[in-house]
A and B are shown apart, each in its own frame.
Chain A
Amino acid sequence: MSGKADGKASEQRELKALQEALAAEHAAVYGYGVVGGRIREGRRTEARSAYDAHRARRDALTREIRDLGGTPVAAAAAYALPFPVPDSAAAVRLAARLEDRVAGVYADVVRATAGERRRSAAEALREAAVRAVRWSGESVAFPGLAERAATGSASATPTA
């Protein structure tokens, strides 16, 4: 019988996906700290609520990983930004990028999990996708699926 071994392997995959998601949420929390410092007044509340949402997801993932017997990955002391963020427009671009990244890891969590964890990851993916479009103004056909991202994106409509 390979049932037990399969269960073990699937638990390992689950844990790995959750750890990737936690790492991305750590990065998002850090990134939104940068966003909050640069974004113009009119969008600061939105950035703040996104920051809070990512903190909540980060904490939930930390608990889930502990429940599975794992050791949650720690946040890095610092992160290299993907591009300089000197002003509000760049802050908006960074926020969109953070959400894209988060959407991707949650798509992978959906695949690796079942039941309540999968449902929760699907919800997190959906929220990230909506936040991404609020920042970028640009819809993508398959949020979180990098392998399908090559074509078909809408033309940009900056909202900053």
Chain B
Amino acid sequence: MPYPPPSRALTGPRRRTLFASAAGAALLVGCSGGSGESRESSAGSPSLAERVRARAARDSVGLVERYDAAIAAHPAAAERLRTLRAEVVRHAEAFGGTIGKSGATTSTSPSPSASPSPSPLSSPSPSPSPSSPATEKDALVELATAERALADRRTAALADVPGELARLLASVAAAGAVHAYLLTEGAR
């Protein structure tokens, strides 16, 4: 039997809302905005935090390049990979990185909103473009391994940085673990 609606099952103040979606989201936003930003000095030095952030941006840009190589080499997997790639682009941007602009660590791939037709072979990127393994399965495994290794490195790095950056690193590391899952175990 389904649970009765809240109005029929009141048990006084002990009863709590599991989380009405709108209210829950508002609460989380409230928590997030209220604290943290003003306490960036709570751990680590600004330069360390800046180095960690810059490293995180570079790492995400590098990961985007790996996705581009895999997408170019394995068109059959492209649709699936583009979804994950778009999220990695957002990670790079959240750390202050840019995709598609010139610069030592950026790739020449299109912006996330552009239609994805990367061609790493023609990329004038200063660092060698990553190549993708010959089979689709190997390519996905390699991406998953890269995602997981990066997630582990970020989880280790978040110990030393201020709270707000640590929170972002932890979230992006979690996203990396999710990607690794989707690339391997989550495969159809």
Contacts and interface: CB of A to CB of B under 8 A. Distances in A.
A82 B173 contact: no
Interface stretch (B6-14, B102-110, B120-128, B132-140): B6-14
Interface residues of A, number: 57
A40 interface: no
Interface in A120-160: 121-123, 125-126, 128-130, 132-134, 137, 139-149, 152, 154-155
Interface of B is mostly: helix
**Chain A contact residues: over half helix, strand or loop, or mixed?**
helix
Counting chain B residues whose Cβ lies within 8 A of the other chain, the interface size class is: 35 or more
Contacts of B42: 10, 114
B170 interface: yes
A58 interface: no
Contacts of A128: 174
A97 B19 contact: yes
A77 B14 contact: yes
Contact of B32 (A10, A78, A145): A145
A141 B182 contact: no
A27 B19 contact: yes
A125 B15 contact: no
B32 A129 contact: no
Contacts of B14: 76-78
Contacts of B90: 141-142, 152
A42 interface: no
B158 A122 contact: yes
A134 to B, nearest CB: 7
Nearest to A155: B83
Contacts of A104: 28
B3 A85 contact: yes
